[in-house]
Copies of this chain bind each other. A is one copy, B any other.
Amino acid sequence: MASRFGGISIDCSEDVFDDGVRFWSEALGVAPERPADPTDPYVSLPSASSGVGVEVQRVGAASRYHIDLVADDVEAEAARLEALGAKRVEPVETWWVMRAPTGHLFCVVPAE
């Protein structure tokens, strides 16, 4: 049992978010799928090249990337990753934000 690589989130600080959606959608040549709710921080960039999700996220932090790991059982997977040295940062809705022992931020999200 392990996580599956689920996607990449291009996390953009507030001040560069709008420019970020424009740059990244034009760079990848895809139309951004904006959420109906303007306070929703996620803008999806459907990728033509693969089944991996790519999105731009507005964050209240410095710009960065993070990756999503998909798990059938988020709690069990978070515990397994803790045993491998990762730390839980915070729970959000249905997923866990975690930090790898290498310092990388990632989320463990439920399979849909």
Contacts and interface: CB of A to CB of B under 8 A. Distances in A.
A102 interface: yes
Chain A interface residue number, banded: 35 or more
B5 A49 contact: yes
Contacts of A27: 2-3, 69, 81, 84, 86, 100
A16 B103 contact: yes
Copy total for this chain: 2
A100 B101 CA distance: 27
A67 to B, nearest CB: 6
A26 to B, nearest CB: 6
B1 A47 contact: no
A51 interface: yes
A2 to B, nearest CB: 3
Q: Which of A1, A16, A23, A70 has the most CB of B within 10 A?
A: A23
12 contacts: A2-B28, A3-B27, A3-B29, A5-B28, A5-B49, A8-B65, A16-B103, A23-B101, A50-B51, A51-B52, A63-B102, A64-B104
